[in-house]
Chain A
Amino acid sequence: EAGVAQSPRYKIIEKRQSVAFWCNPISGHATLYWYQQILGQGPKLLIQFQNNGVVDDSQLPKDRFSAERLKGVDSTLKIQPAKLEDSAVYLCASSPDGEFYGYTFGSGTRLTVV
């Protein structure tokens, strides 16, 4: 089966600019996650979708980050305006329904804010 697709692979922007990331999960996976991974740390959940509804966005900095999952498939994550501390890898993952499945991660988008 095809994996989780993410684009772009790399992005360099100046602070205060905006940026958007795209994710296409594995077909049939109901749950989609966006994680932020700062260098040397583990992934930190930003937002969890179940189909096209938000399950958990408690750690999403809503003053600058937004995410949507239209039609319960593709998802976009946007940052506006970006700050230096947003430099990180943004990982998208998806999983089937059920508690006993691991996630499949995309290759991630490496964002550098200068």
Chain B
Amino acid sequence: GQNIDQPTEMTATEGAIVQINCTYQTSGFNGLFWYQQHAGEAPTFLSYNVLDGLEEKGRFSSFLSRSKGYSYLLLKELQMKDSASYLCAVKGQAGTALIFGKGTTLSVSS
């Protein structure tokens, strides 16, 4: 079967660093995506990993280990505006649609 797991909720304070983990089991693998979704809004693309390793983009970084079926999203220098749901999504077999996890709701407090 296909399964994507991520924590339901996380809390952190402004200026801190938070790591959101995602584990997956899918038929085939053609990339892992992270999306940010603010309440009442559409998901927006954050990052994409298809090879093992770390991809850095400003305050956000994403890591992938294909052998472990594991990824994380690292958010540095947290700001209040980072309070949102973070969705892990996997593209399984080529040509198929993204499969999304249930999302991790991050609350950043001052």
Interface residues of A (CB under 8 A from B): 33, 35, 40-45, 48, 50, 55-56, 91, 99-100, 102-108
Contact = CB atoms under 8 A, between A and B. Distances in A.
Interface stretch (B67-75, B76-84, B88-96): B88-96
Interface residues of B, number: 25
B66 interface: no
A35 B89 CA distance: 13
B42 A99 contact: no
Given A107-B41, A107-B42, A99 B103 contact: no
25 contacts: A33-B97, A35-B100, A40-B102, A41-B102, A42-B87, A42-B100, A42-B102, A43-B100, A44-B100, A45-B99, A48-B96, A48-B97, A55-B95, A55-B97, A56-B96, A91-B42, A91-B43, A99-B91, A99-B94, A99-B95, A100-B48, A103-B45, A104-B45, A105-B43, A108-B42
Nearest to B6: A42
Interface of B: 4, 30-31, 33, 35, 41-45, 48, 50, 87, 89, 91, 94-103
B84 to A, nearest CB: 13
Contacts of A100: 31, 48, 50
A42 B97 CA distance: 14
| Residue in B4, B43, B91 whose Cβ sees the most chain A Cβ within 10 Å | B43
B97 A56 contact: yes
Contacts of A105: 42-44
Nearest to B94: A99
A24 to B, nearest CB: 14
Contacts of B100: 35, 42-44
B101 A42 contact: yes
Nearest to B40: A110
B101 A106 contact: no
B87 A43 contact: yes
B97 A45 contact: yes
A85 to B, nearest CB: 17
